[in-house]
Amino acid sequence: MNFSSGLTIGNLIGQGGFGDVYEGTDEVHGKVAVKVLRRRSFETESDWLARKDQLLSEAQHLREARHKNVVPVLYAVRSQDDGSLHMVTEFCEGGSLERLYKAGPIKISKTRKIVTDICLGLDALHVRGMIHRDIKPGNILYSDSRWKIGDFGLVTNDVILGYASDRGYLDHLAPEVHKDQVTSVKTDVWALGMTIYRLLHGEQFYESAFTGKDISDLVMAGSFATRLPWLPHIPKVWRKVIRKALHDDSSLRFDSVSDLSQAIGKLSIAPDWQCAFRNDLTSWTLQNKRRMVSVEWEVISPRKHLWRADSVGGSHKRRLGGSKFPQSKEKVYSEIEEFLLSF
């Protein structure tokens, strides 16, 4: 497909809630990403036309909101063929954070670097009076050796519940969004808090924790953050910061993503365990001077759990701790947590 703007659309590279993303070539900008936005099933024709006008206006606004941690919007054009809207942005060679999230828990040190970049970009939008409304791993992209915020302005207050439900991210909507469908800087803070939680735990842990549960009901019931399950290597201070970002009362959350970033920046990244999660076997490794510490948690059955910790150096392996016989999940969790956080 060609446009008078000099844009040529190529191969499909991703699919999103409101449209598909293609590689593109622009005669001025070279290789670009093109998001083709169409009317969604839960939108009326008038809602779509209004949102399309809003997107065109916001694209112009975003062109002026230049920041190193924001994916640049180059321009937007209407298709003459099917009425869709084509938003043209920088092509991010590194892809999205979704790939790392799906691979498993991300180390604390790397998570802090990612969050710092995200906060810088998101704060740049907030100071210009813009709300993102859709912070999640898939909308964070890597380019030029840094993480950048993308896919801004695609969700409006009128359609946000339908969109989040369709994409499986209802937990990224703060209680006041479920209640009133109104977004703010504080609702972006909530979504960023959930993003940090996801990154630290990985997709498989997250899915196992919430399978079969109604996320909307959990969020609206209150105290959602206090009932979140945690991998045992996540330090208590990290949990406290995330819970504050997810406070039911928006006045008790961080006032801005800049405040959240400062809080995260003050947290220790030690011990910086590498975790690999499976429902039946979770493991941790940590390089400790010249030796590698290895911890495993085996699930034999819902009521029978085992764990062991070893120190490995060269050809020598030394037992550091563990259970001699199967124990309850709660008992094993407590012992592993104490061991992991003692380094």
pLDDT tens-digit profile of 156-184?
676 677 666 656 688 999 999 999 988 99
**CA–CA separation, 326 and 333 (whole Å):** 12
Question: How would you classify residue 74: left for phi > 0, otherwise alpha for psi between -120 and 50, otherwise beta?
Answer: alpha
Structure confidence at residue 156 (pLDDT) = 67
Q: Are residues 239 and 332 in the same domain?
A: no
pLDDT digits 0-9 by tens, 69-93: 999 888 888 877 777 888 899 999 9
Percentage, residues of the chain above pLDDT 90 = 66
Q: Which domain holds residue 150?
A: 98-265
DSSP per-residue codes, 301-342: ETTEEEEEEEEEETTEEEEEEE-SS-B-HHHHHHHHHHHHTT
Cβ atoms 114, 106 nearer than 8 A = yes
User: Does residue 103 sit in helix, strand or coil?
Assistant: helix
Structure confidence at residue 163 (pLDDT) = 66
| Least confident segment among 4-18, 30-44, 184-198, 285-299 | 4-18
Q: Are residues 282 and 182 in the same domain?
A: no
Q: Which of 117, 134, 171, 188 is catalytic?
A: 134
Q: Which of 274, 283, 194, 288 is nearest to 242 (CA)?
A: 194
Q: Is 332 exposed, middle or buried (0-12, 13-18, 19+ CB in 10 A)?
A: buried
Cβ atoms 109, 270 nearer than 8 A = no
Mean pLDDT of the chain: 90
State the Cα torsion 258-261-262-267 to the nearest 10°: 170
Q: Are residues 102 and 246 in the same domain?
A: yes
Output helix, strand, coil percentages for the chain, rounded to the nearest 5.
40, 25, 35
Q: Are residues 214 and 156 in the same domain?
A: yes
* pLDDT of 64 higher than 80: no
Q: Are residues 145 and 214 in the same domain?
A: yes
Q: Are residues 118 and 226 in the same domain?
A: yes
Q: What DSSP state is assigned to residue 53?
A: H
| Least confident segment among 115-124, 150-159, 225-234 | 150-159
Q: Does residue 243 belong to any structural domain of this protein?
A: yes
Q: Does residue 24 belong to any structural domain of this protein?
A: yes
Distance of CA 54 to the CA centre of its chain: 25
Structure confidence at residue 41 (pLDDT) = 75
Name, in order, each residue with C-beta under 8 angstroms of 124's C-beta and a sequence gap of 6 or more: 65, 67, 69, 70
Handedness of CA 203, 22, 74, 54 (dihedral sign): negative
Number of domains in the chain: 3
Compute how many other C-beta atoms are within 10 angstroms of the C-beta atom of residue 283: 15
pLDDT mean over 198-211: 95
Structure confidence at residue 97 (pLDDT) = 96
Structure confidence at residue 167 (pLDDT) = 65
- Which of 206, 232, 265 is the last residue in one of the domains? 265
- Which of 213, 240, 265 is the last residue in one of the domains? 265
pLDDT digits 0-9 by tens, 272-298: 999 999 999 999 999 987 889 999 999
**CA–CA separation, 273 and 285 (whole Å):** 6
**CA–CA separation, 50 and 62 (whole Å):** 18
| Least confident segment among 242-246, 277-281, 313-317 | 313-317
At 246, the pLDDT band (50, 70, 90 cuts) reads very high
Q: Which residues in the chain belong to E strands, given as ranges? A: 7-15, 19-26, 30-37, 73-78, 85-90, 140-143, 146-149, 274-276, 281-288, 291-301, 304-313, 316-322
Tokens linked to 339: 């061991």
pLDDT higher for 72 or 315? 72
Structure confidence at residue 79 (pLDDT) = 77
* pLDDT of 142 higher than 70: yes
Structure confidence at residue 249 (pLDDT) = 97
Percentage, residues of the chain above pLDDT 70 = 94
Assess whether 134 carries a catalytic annotation.
yes
Structure confidence at residue 165 (pLDDT) = 65
Q: Does residue 308 belong to any structural domain of this protein?
A: yes
Q: Does residue 2 belong to any structural domain of this protein?
A: no
Q: Does residue 270 belong to any structural domain of this protein?
A: no
Tokens linked to 183: 């977004």
DSSP per-residue codes, 157-199: TTTHHHHHHHHT-GGGS-HHHHHH----HHHHHHHHHHHHHHH
Longest dimension (CA), the chain: 72
- Which of 90, 113, 139 is the last residue in one of the domains? 90
Q: Are residues 126 and 257 in the same domain?
A: yes
Q: Are residues 122 and 154 in the same domain?
A: yes
Name, in order, each residue with C-beta under 8 angstroms of 49's C-beta and a sequence gap of 6 or more: none
30-39, 72-81, 101-110 — most confident range: 101-110
Bridge partners of residue 32, in order along the sequence: 24, 90
Q: Does residue 74 belong to any structural domain of this protein?
A: yes
| Least confident segment among 33-42, 94-103, 232-241, 312-321 | 33-42
Pairing of strands 85-90, 140-143: unpaired
Q: Are residues 226 and 80 in the same domain?
A: no
CATH number of the domain encompassing residue 25: 3.30.200.20
At 1, the pLDDT band (50, 70, 90 cuts) reads very low
At 18, the pLDDT band (50, 70, 90 cuts) reads low
At 313, the pLDDT band (50, 70, 90 cuts) reads confident
* pLDDT of 6 higher than 80: no
Cβ atoms 144, 93 nearer than 8 A = no
Structure confidence at residue 57 (pLDDT) = 78
**CA–CA separation, 157 and 15 (whole Å):** 22
